[in-house]
Amino acid sequence: MPDSFAAALIPWYRAHARDLPWRRGEYLERYGPWGVLVSEFMLQQTPVNRVIPHLEAWLTRWPDPLALAAASPAEVLQQWANLGYPRRALWLHGAAIAIRDEHGGRTPREVAALLALPGIGDYTARAVAVFAFGDRHPVVDTNTRRVIARAVHGVAQPAPPARRDLDDMLTLLPDDPADAAIVNAATMELGATVCTARTPDCARCPLSGLCAWRAVGFPESEDRRRRQAKYEGSDRQARGGVLRALRHADGHRLPAETVLPDWPDPAQRDRAIDSLIADGLLEASQGELMLPR
């Protein structure tokens, strides 16, 4: 299985991979491993097409870790704009500061060192080590887990994320690091464009000949996915609205009562503000709110 998996995916990837900014030679030459790290931060739980314009603007403003480390949290949150999960912006900023202070301004190559940076977990650490430095590690994201669930385990949906996923992927990697990097990228790419969550396009899949799920007739597996909580009226929506108002204030303070004045549940709005302050996403003084300095 490992050899045939790689043998099917590598030529497919060379022929069909999307032309994404962080895969272009000029991008890697200009921004180096830092460019890969920034792209992976933005791609956490955020679709490719929403990331691209933000990524280019971000790296134009802050092309390296030292530049970002010198910025203020308020500037960082403003530039992050509506990408979502704004804590990622603070973590990326913190990673830049740690790279400046603990790594001489150079993005570390070792997985353990990358894991020690804020906002970097199993996926992002290995993605940087593999795609920026060419080292051989298993890179496992949600697409990878779905492809392995189907092609290898013969089930429609992956089990909840577990450390075993890394071992599963490692089994599929060729010995050569460059080939292994392609297989990592190709597995993600296949999951993103062909072996998708809702409507897999098996007719165009390079793995159809060896797919365990296809071999057993595409059975539906028990749906153990967690239902996503409703966004409308949620605390998350309230937090998002508060931060949006502060971003639009363009660096100025706002009297607290002027932020989301028409929110249906004032107590929920106040809880949102408190939780944003607790998370370091907001500051309050003398009844006024502002982005953290």
Partner DNA sequence: TAGTCGTGGTC
Partner DNA sequence: TGACCAAGACT
Q: Which residues are catalytic?
A: 40
Answer for which of 5, 12, 22, 58 binds DNA (CB under 7 A) is 22
Residue from 10, 32, 46, 109 touching DNA (CB under 7 A): that is: 46
DSSP H helices in the chain: 2-16, 25-43, 48-61, 65-69, 73-80, 87-102, 111-115, 122-131, 142-151, 164-172, 177-193, 212-215, 235-248, 266-278
Site string for DNA, 215-234 (x = CB under 7 A): ----------xxxxxxx--x
93-122 footprint of DNA as x/- string (CB under 7 A): -------------------------xxxxx
Toward DNA, which CB reaches closer, 64 or 122?
122
In this structure, the strands spanning 254-255 and 283-285 are unpaired
Per CB under 7 A, does 155 bind DNA? no
The CB-of-17 to DNA minimum distance in angstroms stands at 9
Tell me which stretch binds DNA (CB under 7 A): 99-107, 141-149, 171-179, 252-260.
141-149
Checking phi first, is residue 200 left (phi over 0); if not, alpha (psi -120 to 50) or beta?
beta
Please say whether the beta carbons of 105 and 65 come within 8 A: yes
From residue 246, alpha-carbon distances to 79, 82, 87, 207 in Å are: 12, 12, 15, 48
- CB nearer DNA, residue 100 or residue 247: 247
Which residue bears the tokens 């296809």? 214
Q: Which of 142, 154, 202, 277 binds DNA (CB under 7 A)?
A: 142
The answer to whether the beta carbons of residues 254 and 246 sit under 8 Å apart is yes
Q: Take residue 125 and report the two structure tokens written for it.
A: 């650490």
Within positions 71 to 90, which residues make up the interface with DNA, using CB under 7 A? 82-87
Report d(CA 187, CA 205) in Å as an integer.
Answer: 11
Does 43 contact DNA by CB under 7 A? yes
Residue nearer to DNA on the CB measure, 152 or 238: 238
Looking at beta carbons only, is 79 or 237 nearer to DNA? 237
Whole-number Å distance between alpha carbons of 122 and 182: 18
275 binds DNA (CB under 7 A): yes
Question: Could you give the CA distance from residue 187 to residue 127 in angstroms, rounded to a whole number?
Answer: 13
Tell me if 154 contacts DNA by CB under 7 A. Answer: no
Distance of CA 7 to the CA centre of its chain: 28
Under the criterion CB under 7 A, does residue 48 sit at the interface with DNA? yes
Tell whether residue 191 is a contact of DNA (CB under 7 A): yes
Question: Measured between alpha carbons, how far is 177 from 57 in angstroms, rounded to an integer?
Answer: 32
Return the DSSP state at 251.
T
Residue 214 sits in the site that holds DNA (CB under 7 A): no
Q: Which of 125, 155, 173, 282 binds DNA (CB under 7 A)?
A: 125
Q: Which is nearer to DNA, 199 or 285 (CB)?
A: 199
Q: How far is the CB of 166 from DNA (least distance, A)?
A: 11
DSSP 3-state assignment of 286?
A: coil
Interacting residues with DNA (CB under 7 A): 20, 22-23, 39-40, 43-48, 50, 82-87, 91, 118-125, 127, 141-143, 146, 160, 162, 188-189, 191-192, 196-199, 225-231, 234-237, 239-241, 243-244, 275, 281
